[in-house]
Amino acid sequence: MAATVRRAERAVTRSEADVRALERRQRELADEKAQVEDARAQLALQREELADRALALRGIADALVTCNSGLVQLVNYVLAEDFAAADAIYEGSNADCQAAEDELSAYNAAYVE
């Protein structure tokens, strides 16, 4: 009878040790899960910032293309000595280039400086 009680006590001790080990592992897993969730949230923020930057850069590129097109057209008019046509598009071309410069300055202020 005493041997049976000792075996039962050893089994209970082992079970208690197993429970403590499982509880420790459960805490470790919960910590790992929290770290993964934090990393996922950080990646989501980075993804949003990159999307915002990409949208801004696209706007800058579009504005620069518009500016460049106007300048090419202006130069072609001047080379053809069509000063009336050059004069007619000068203000619009200048405004387009200023808009591109403003967009680039805003981007630099928001993301670079």
Q: Is the dihedral of CA 62, 67, 72, 77 positive or negative?
A: positive
What distance, in Å, lies between the first and last C-alpha atoms of the chain?
82
Check pLDDT > 90 for residue 87. yes
Predicted confidence band of residue 41 (pLDDT cuts 50, 70, 90)? very high
Closest by Cα among 111, 112, 113, 106 to 51: 111
Q: What is the pTM of this model?
A: 0.70
Predicted confidence band of residue 38 (pLDDT cuts 50, 70, 90)? very high
Contact between 93 and 70 under an 8 Å Cβ cutoff? The reply is yes
Find all residues with CB under 8 Å of 110, minimum gap 6, and list them. Answer: 56
Predicted confidence band of residue 3 (pLDDT cuts 50, 70, 90)? confident
Find all residues with CB under 8 Å of 92, minimum gap 6, and list them. Answer: 70
Check pLDDT > 90 for residue 65. yes
